[in-house]
């Protein structure tokens, strides 16, 4: 199975890459997690920034696959619920595309295409920090699925 975190923004600070790698490296080879960085769109007088970035994110989605938009207005999952989703996705064999928008958020095209809109909570999080959180939560969900006592109930 492949999980693709497709995120707006390149050249992140070292702590972002370090945080991502701490958890991504712990995952088994059969659960491939890939970070795909998409350049921030240049401001255009003809097309809104969100629309340009939405097209760039969607162009990098793997098909067949689920498209999950990380969005503050989405539905929140507990870690156990996310683990359940990850397990379902693993059984389907399709790729999972987790889309992280830029500072302006997602464009309408992403919201229309998304199979689900997922909120990491009611806090506003910087998009670079969301990468680290996703890496950790994928690792944590994997440990739950495989019976490791990583999660505290």
Cα-based distances in Å from 151 to 15, 78, 88, 105? 24, 11, 19, 30
Per-residue DSSP letter, 150: T
pLDDT of 96:
97
pLDDT of 115:
96
pLDDT of 126:
87
Mean pLDDT in consecutive groups of 10 residues from the start of the chain, 153 residues: 94 93 94 94 78 95 94 93 94 94 91 96 88 96 87 61
pLDDT of 49:
87
Which domains, and CATH codes, for the chain? Answer: 2-41+61-145 (3.40.1280.10)
pTM over 0.95: no
pLDDT of 152:
64
Cα-based distances in Å from 55 to 8, 21, 24, 32, 133? 11, 27, 26, 24, 24
């Amino acid at each position: 199975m492949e999980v693709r975190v497709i995120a707006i923004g390149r050249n992140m600070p070292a702590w972002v890459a370090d945080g991502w790698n701490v958890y991504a490296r712990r995952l088994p080879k059969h659960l491939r997690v890939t970070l795909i960085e998409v350049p921030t769109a240049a401001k255009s007088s003809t097309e809104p920034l969100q629309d340009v970035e939405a097209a760039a994110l969607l162009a990098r989605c793997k098909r067949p696959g689920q498209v999950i938009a990380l969005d503050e207005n989405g539905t929140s999952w507990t870690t156990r619920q996310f683990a359940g989703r990850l397990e379902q996705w693993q059984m389907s064999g399709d790729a999972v595309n987790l889309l992280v928008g830029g500072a302006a958020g997602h464009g309408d095209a992403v919201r229309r295409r998304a199979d689900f809109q997922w909120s990491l909570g009611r806090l506003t999080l910087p998009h670079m920090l969301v990468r680290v959180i996703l890496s950790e939560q994928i690792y944590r969900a994997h440990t739950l699925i495989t019976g490791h006592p990583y999660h505290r109930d």
